[in-house]
Chain A
Amino acid sequence: MREVAIIGVGMNKWGELWNDSLRDIYVDAAIEAIKDAGVDHVDGMYIGSMTPGLFVGQEHIGSLMADYLGMKGLPCTRVESACASGGVALKSAFLEVASGHSDIVIAGGVEKMTDCSGDDATYALATAADQEYEVFHGATFPGLYAMMARRHMHDYGTTREQLAHVAVKNHKNGAKNPKAQYPFEVTLEEVMTSVMVADPLRILDCSPITDGAACVVVADLATARKICKKPIVKITGIGHATDSIALHSRESITRLDAVTTAAERAYKMAGKKPTDIHFAEVHDCFTIAEIIVAEDLGFFKKGEGGKGAESGETHIGGRIPINPSGGLKSKGHPVGATGIAQAIETVNQLRGDAGARQVKGAKVGMTQNMGGSGGSCVIHIMEVI
């Protein structure tokens, strides 16, 4: 397999983008990434999108986006793995370049979530859970993560305050991210008194509904060296795993086996261990998710993720900065685009381009993108050369 690098990144300012359509927001992000890379052509494209069919009634978006990018004829595939769709698109692009089939490939992600009502969006998102044995009974995603949170609190003594610390920290980072949907700080008290969504999770524990797109350009290392004017960021490890999509079918609901397995695979491929990682962008769709994932990636012992969130170790400047971008919580979570936006933040950090939220001396970064309540997970380890 050839070595593969990310040579260009692009994304919109995320938010409620009422003036722009699904195709517009994707094209904007893709053009920015192509210009950042400085390439004059691409050989293929993968687009992560969870359910444009339910959100805006549009499927077949591979061809649609190729056409509106002015690249009719380009081989383009939409990939889906719920909220991990973006991460899987990046993996697909990596494999196409690593195999030698193509030299320059776009990995993108897009979701347009505000063209439908809030309860229709809740329904659309819930299709990533077991439709007949979870959703049928009225379970929602906040509800599934709330059940994980309550059990984590019961088993390990994780506190309501510790959950809130995740939101406070991510908003503090996101306040420094010009692309974030909610670039403002929140206080512990604001999180803990915000509207209840699914007890014990409140609205400020939840990632928002977002319109947004994100794209990266990947290339083989030889092409990257020829074209790239910025520091080259190599993808050195990939781990991908699945689990039962129904939470109740798993042995434990306070450990995410798709995450531990994907992490094991990514660490092995990159020849790294948790202490080698300088920062991580993780899938904080809910505050409890960041706590459990930080444990399952090996940054904290099982059960100590809550204490870790409270201790400040996950802040920029801490032992293991988590979500310097602001995470899904502050940056926004257009589900299919999230995995790509995590890669963009990682590239920006490794290039030294992250401005006020720069993690000093960052040479090795990780992205952890997850689908459903942990039914799929894809992890990338990246290093700057």
Chain B
Amino acid sequence: MFPSRTWRENPQRYRLEAVKCAKHNKVFFPPRRVSPGSLDGSSLKPYQLPNEGTIYTFTTIEVPPSQFKDSAPYVVGMIELTDGTKITCQVADCDPSTLKIGQKVKIEFRRVQTHGEHGVLSYGYKAVPAIQGVTTV
């Protein structure tokens, strides 16, 4: 894989940059070119996703694809962020047997995978269970 493929996703993966459609009052992540049903993107404005949310659903991957061979087992979850946007990412630093739907998580910047035969390091977001009583910035 050429680094450009992962590099171009950096604004989303590093900084959770999304767009919000003024017409539909809806957030799109990753950003897209046009607002649904309009063939026009002028209603889409840059929008920052919140970095907190709850676990909407999750699973523990025991049989991984080739590029995650060394990480299994690992937890993949769907996170509902505080603004209602849903994203898919790994849930790190957790005991899978204690995870619950509805549990609070924060989104952190982590190494996600080592990609392809060239071993390109790819970074992005992972969810981490929020420690009760601690407010994250």
Contact = CB atoms under 8 A, between A and B. Distances in A.
A291 interface: no
Contacts of B69: 119
Contacts of B88: 133-134, 137, 139, 246-248
A332 to B, nearest CB: 18
Contacts of B122: 136
A128 interface: no
Contacts of B76: 137-139, 143, 147
Interface stretch (A99-107, A192-200, A217-225): A192-200
Contacts of B61: 138-140, 142-143, 198
29 contacts: A119-B69, A122-B63, A123-B65, A133-B30, A133-B87, A136-B113, A137-B89, A138-B65, A139-B76, A140-B61, A143-B59, A147-B59, A147-B77, A147-B78, A150-B58, A150-B101, A151-B56, A154-B57, A196-B62, A197-B62, A197-B63, A198-B59, A198-B62, A198-B63, A199-B62, A200-B59, A247-B88, A253-B56, A253-B57
A138 B58 contact: no
A151 B57 contact: yes
Interface of B: 9, 29-30, 56-69, 71, 74, 76-78, 86-90, 96, 101, 112-113, 122, 124, 126
**Secondary structure type dominating chain A contacts:** helix
Interface in A127-180: 132-140, 142-143, 146-148, 150-151, 154
A293 interface: no
A139 to B, nearest CB: 5
A126 interface: yes
A67 interface: no
B60 A138 contact: no
A172 to B, nearest CB: 26
A92 B61 CA distance: 37
Nearest to B97: A199
A127 to B, nearest CB: 10
Count chain B CB atoms within 10 A of each CB in A117, A126, A133, A197 and give the residue with the most: A133
B66 A120 contact: yes
B102 to A, nearest CB: 9
A136 B64 contact: no
Contacts of A122: 63-66
Nearest to B87: A248
B90 A248 contact: no
Given A136-B9, A147-B59, A199-B60, 14 more contacts: A120-B66, A132-B30, A133-B30, A137-B76, A137-B90, A138-B71, A138-B90, A139-B76, A142-B59, A142-B61, A148-B57, A199-B62, A201-B59, A248-B88
B70 to A, nearest CB: 11
Interface in A257-284: none
A198 B60 contact: yes
Contacts of B56: 151, 253
A133 B58 CA distance: 15
A276 B90 CA distance: 44
B124 A119 contact: no
A142 B90 CA distance: 15
Given A132-B30, A199-B96, A248-B86, A119 B65 contact: yes
Contacts of B124: 136-137
A24 B61 CA distance: 35
Interface in A186-229: 195-201
B49 to A, nearest CB: 12
B33 to A, nearest CB: 15
Nearest to B80: A248
Contact of A138 (B57, B68, B78): B68
Given A146-B59, A147-B57, A140 B65 contact: yes
Nearest to B29: A133
A126 B65 contact: yes
Contacts of A253: 56-57, 78
B64 A140 contact: yes
A222 to B, nearest CB: 42
B85 to A, nearest CB: 8
B27 to A, nearest CB: 11
Contacts of B90: 137-138
A274 to B, nearest CB: 28
Across the A-B interface, the 8 shortest Cβ-Cβ residue pairs? A146-B59, A248-B86, A123-B65, A151-B57, A147-B57, A119-B66, A198-B59, A199-B60
